[in-house]
Amino acid sequence: MAEPGQVQGSLRNRLAVTLIGGAALLALLLFLVVRSYAAQIAQQGQDSILTASVSSILDAAVLRDDQVEIDFPYAAFSMLTTAADDQVYYAIYRDGGFLSGYADLPQQASSAVPKQFQTALYDGKAVRISTASRTLLGADVRTRITVSVAQTQDALSETLNQISTNVASFGLGFFMLAVLLSFWVTSVTIAPLKRLTTSVTRRGPQDLRPLTKPVPSEMLPLVNSLNTLMGRLNQSLSQSEDFIAEAAHRVRTPLATVRSYAETTLQRVDKEENRQALRSMVRAIDESSRAAGQLLDHAMITFRADHLEHEDLDLGDLVQELVQRLTPVAEMKDIDLVLQIDRPVRLIGDAILLQNAIRNLIDNALKYSPSESVIEISVTASPNPQVAVRDQGAGFPSDEIADLAQRFSRGNNARGTIGSGLGLTIAQDVAAAHGGSLTLSNTAGGGACVIFSV
């Protein structure tokens, strides 16, 4: 099994957090900027009305017999009417001395250059005060009239609150949109990566073809590297398979020759020692030959699994034919092959591979079965087409069942028996190539049971 990769952060989260955080920051900025701008405009509005009120009072000021008369218009105060019913205060000064209005209004007539606008507290409320002066020239006097008009800021703060609420809801709306958008952008951005992962994951174990689907330009280097890596892997795999097949093939032919010589020689020698040595030799040669054969089979299966042939066949016929072929071998060991067939067991598959796989299973059973025992072979159609092979041997070592189907793996109890450890591997590869599985278990009586299902 491959080691799971180390995880450090998540592209999706990083992207989403960056986008959402940015949107939140922008929304907040929008709120603050618009609010301060609105406050400025609203204040300007109030200031200009207060200024108009002050100047309409100042304009009405006249000197008559050294008396100041200010017959200011009704509009001077009516223009200060607001929806929030703001309170209005005013004060008129002559040369710094109070003349009329609210005497305790915060005044600055005494200062040389009075500020035009100021915000002050009056009667416990914040008021905006506008102040202006005018010099009146009489016959022999020169006097300075200063007028302050003040107004509370209820309407202003109502307007500001309303604007704030509106801007806040706009900001929140934009933010929500940005959040939705960023989720969408994130998933769209991550999608090709996911697709690539899926297409790599879905591949069969032998599929090392390069990835050809178009990908975003940022992912091209990754895909190229992946393709190069797979290409190299494929090449080295096929090289080694070729090498094994070639080697097995080259070894098998001379081995056959050597075996036939050994057999011939065995006929000729009489000395028991020599005969013993020759028999060992033949056995060793058989083992090597069988191993070479299985290596060849395995290489063929690896090749064929990639280019599976699909033909309609009957599993029962196939197994029956195999059993007939193997019956002589079984008889040599006094083993009965009992075949049970559920007819018909139709399936679509590669006949050569299936034959090879099942032959390996029966071979194994023959190998590990004691003399004068029975091997049951049953072919059933449901739920899946499957072949079960049960022997009366020692069975699988229970602690190794999981690993036995791996290449070159043999059970502990298999020493002294000819075998390469490839038999189960071949069967499993064929089952996998057909979308099936190989199940190993021990029967209640102690024998091994292998179920090959497609």
When the beta carbons of 56 and 356 are compared against another protein, the nearer one is 56
How far apart CA 165 and CA 223 sit, in angstroms, is: 51
Asked whether the bond before 4 is cis by omega within 30 degrees of 0, the reply is no
When the beta carbons of 81 and 340 are compared against another protein, the nearer one is 81
CB of 100 to another protein, least distance (A): 4
> CB burial class (10 A; 0-12, 13-18, 19+) of residue 423?
buried
Dihedral of alpha carbons 225, 226, 230, 231, sign:
negative
Report in angstroms the alpha-carbon separations of 129 from 50, 107, 108, 284: 8, 9, 10, 116
Write out the residues near another protein by the rule CB under 8 A. Answer: 68-78, 80-81, 85-89, 92, 99-101, 123
CB 98 within 8 A of CB 91: yes
How far apart CA 94 and CA 115 sit, in angstroms, is: 17
When the beta carbons of 149 and 326 are compared against another protein, the nearer one is 149
When the beta carbons of 154 and 241 are compared against another protein, the nearer one is 154
In terms of Cα–Cα distance, which of 166, 98, 102 is closest to 129?
102
When the beta carbons of 125 and 249 are compared against another protein, the nearer one is 125
Q: In what order do the strands lie in the sheet with 142-152?
A: 97-101, 88-94, 142-152, 125-137, 117-122
Beta 448-453 vs 336-341: how paired, if at all? unpaired
CB of 77 to another protein, least distance (A): 4
CB of 164 to another protein, least distance (A): 22
CB of 74 to another protein, least distance (A): 5
CB of 94 to another protein, least distance (A): 10
When the beta carbons of 73 and 204 are compared against another protein, the nearer one is 73
At residue 85, the 3 state secondary structure works out as coil
CB of 123 to another protein, least distance (A): 5
CB of 71 to another protein, least distance (A): 6
When the beta carbons of 74 and 408 are compared against another protein, the nearer one is 74
At residue 329, the 3 state secondary structure works out as helix
Amino acid sitting at position 454: V
Helix H segments across 60-94? Answer: 75-78
CB of 87 to another protein, least distance (A): 5
How far apart CA 403 and CA 364 sit, in angstroms, is: 16
When the beta carbons of 71 and 140 are compared against another protein, the nearer one is 71
Tokens of 136: 């009146």
CA dihedral 8→9→12→17, nearest 10 degrees, is -160
CB of 119 to another protein, least distance (A): 18
Report in angstroms the alpha-carbon separations of 187 from 12, 193, 195, 223: 7, 10, 12, 20
Tokens of 131: 């102040």
When the beta carbons of 156 and 178 are compared against another protein, the nearer one is 156
